[in-house]
Amino acid sequence: MSRTSSNGVTSRRPRPMEPMGRARYIVMMGLVLIGLGLLAGRIVDLHVFERTFLKGQGDARTLRVDEIPAHRGMITDRHGSPLAISTPVVTLWANPQDVPEDGIQRLRLAQALGQDLDALNKRLARYSEREFMYLERRMTPGAAQKVLDLRVPGVHARKEYKRYYPAGEVAAQLIGVTNIDDKGQEGLELAYQPYLAGVPGKRRVLKDRRGRLVRDLEVLKEAEPGGDLTLSIDQSLQYMAYRELKAAVEKNDADGGTLVMLDADTGEVLAMANQPSYNPNNRASLDPAGLRNQAIVDTFEPGSVIKPLAMSALLETGKFPPDTVVDTSPGWMVIDGYTIRDVSNNGKLTLTGILRKSSNIGMSKLTLQLDKPVVPRRYRALGFGSAPGTGFPGEATGSVPSPRVWSSSQWAALSYGYGLSVSALQLASAYTAIANHGKRLPPSLLRLDQAPQGKPVIEPAIADKVLGMMDEVVAPGTGARRGMVPGYRVAGKTGTVRKVGSDGYQQSTYRALFVGIAPVSDPRIITVVMIDHPRGDEYYGGAIAAPVFSRVAGSALRMLDVPPDRSSQDDDDE
């Protein structure tokens, strides 16, 4: 309905809202109010009732617990000279999702890392769905800082430690190595891993959503540094022994060799060298053969160097007086179908003569007069067939046979060093009984505060008797004469052993050995030298291993300030 005003303008009167429209309006306004009410209720719920939960969720995305690396303990020689130390390094890592795709930035990053740009791009693409990847492990702090100075987004640093070995290849197999995570993998690094590693600490830090450190908040647990390990070896003696062994292996074109020097008073290992070796500071061209500590983990038939130990068992039976003479003619004999030979026909020999001439016939004839296996029993008492107990990973036990019924050939073979296996360390340890009036000392790779008591295994008078016999073995005109040391009396024994191949004993492959104790008047060192497969006209222990002993023992005795027990006049006369 409309009407006309006095000025002629027509106006319309508003229509009243229809019932349907009013209902729709009320419903819409009600829904809006309900929604607002629910929203307000949720806000109150979040800020009042679920505040603790939300705070925890927020902290979980910003607060982190990081590990504080523990400083690995140092390994030193007996005088404190470092053999293994940990130096601080920096590891660079990246969040691939944050590294920009800008070609210039990536090129600069690759150049600073010393990496190929294409290779870096491929790695970033491969880890694109992850938030972590290593860019470069264990960089020097200076080199890492040059990369960080580029300020490339997504690139971060982490402090770590890297193991360094000042002695290099000289003591590599004994000390061992750690892996890229600074965990022991070989040698004493592996054997004492828990002790050396220490216990990492923990700290709470604040990080942004991209994992970048914002602030250190608190230290939850301090890192406990690893303990220091003091070895028994003398670094000066180790260098000297390694140098002489390496020279002998190269001179004789040998496959390798090993040398062990023990302190005769304590059983401590003063030097332990092996060939081949490797540089633990640069393992790019590592020869796996150089990883083995042959002196402890490898075994071999000892041959004639075992004869003085067998002789001690024979003398202790009381069946062989000092004036016993054995006829070794014609230089060979057959036992159980096996032919045993000497190098030559030595005729009649005294007990000392049997050792001087290294007569297999003489040892066999003496042994076969007994009705008990006294020789293998003596070997076991001296530690053969049992682990030395040094704790070194993979230390060999060797073997001494114990058949129910002994054949004559087995008894005989054991008396001249065949049919059993020993390690160089076991052999050196066994001879501590000869040097210490019958008491065997357990070998130790760690420095000892005091000498061990030792285990009596040989009657004192018999041990002293054998030591005197070995003194006469190393003399002018004998096969062991090259083991003599100017100014000092030496008790020693040579050995030359056929190596065993897939078809049995090989005809032209040998090990040359020498065992020596010096000085005889008051034994200070015991040294075992083994040269594996020397090539050339001479391959006997007296020609190959004895000269190495002479040079090493002579230098060691002077370095240890051991007074001479032999006059220079005696040396001149000889």
Highest mean pLDDT among 20-24, 68-72, 155-159, 463-467: 463-467
Asked whether 109 and 68 are in contact (CB, 8 A), the reply is: no
> How far apart (Å, rounded) are the C-alpha atoms in residues 390 and 288?
23
Mean pLDDT of 546-573: 85
Asked whether 486 and 270 are in contact (CB, 8 A), the reply is: no
Per-chain mean pLDDT for the chain = 88
Mean pLDDT of 215-229: 78
Please say if the pLDDT value at position 386 is more than 50: yes
Res 29: pLDDT: 80
Of the ranges 4-8, 246-250, 356-360, 455-459, which one carries the lowest mean pLDDT score?
4-8
Please say if the pLDDT value at position 130 is more than 90: no
Res 31: pLDDT: 80
Res 138: pLDDT: 83
> How far apart (Å, rounded) are the C-alpha atoms in residues 74 and 529?
29
DSSP 84-123: EEEEEEEEEEE-TTTS---HHHHHHHHHHHT--HHHHHHH
Please say if the pLDDT value at position 119 is more than 60: yes
Among residues 304, 358, 421, 444, the one annotated as catalytic is 304
Please say if the pLDDT value at position 349 is more than 90: yes
DSSP 477-539: TSTTGGG-BTTB--EEEEEEEEEEETTEEEEEEEEEEEEEEE-SSS--EEEEEEEES--SS--
Res 284: pLDDT: 74
Q: Among positive and negative, which fits the CA dihedral 560, 564, 569, 571?
A: negative
Please say if the pLDDT value at position 99 is more than 60: yes
Of the ranges 27-41, 418-432, 497-511, which one carries the lowest mean pLDDT score?
27-41
Res 213: pLDDT: 59
Nearest CA among 354, 350, 370 for reference residue 362: 354
Mean pLDDT of 399-422: 91
Res 26: pLDDT: 79
Of residues 321 and 263, more confidently modeled: 263
With cut-offs at 50, 70 and 90, classify the pLDDT of residue 569.
Answer: very low
Integer-rounded Cα radius of gyration of the chain: 39
With cut-offs at 50, 70 and 90, classify the pLDDT of residue 218.
Answer: low
Of the ranges 66-70, 505-509, 523-527, which one carries the lowest mean pLDDT score?
66-70
Mean pLDDT of 485-498: 96
Res 236: pLDDT: 97
Res 515: pLDDT: 98
Q: Cα dihedral angle (350, 355, 357, 362), rounded to 10 degrees?
A: 60
Residues 138-184 pLDDT 10s: 888 889 889 888 888 888 888 888 899 999 999 999 999 998 888 99
With cut-offs at 50, 70 and 90, classify the pLDDT of residue 210.
Answer: low
Res 53: pLDDT: 59
Query: Known catalytic residue: 304?
Result: yes
Q: Give kind and range of the element (H or E) at residue 151.
A: none
With cut-offs at 50, 70 and 90, classify the pLDDT of residue 50.
Answer: low
**Tally of residues, the chain:** 574
Q: Work out the percent of the chain whose per-residue pLDDT is above 70.
A: 88
Retrieve residue 80's tokens.
């404190």
Structure letter (DSSP) for residue 76: E
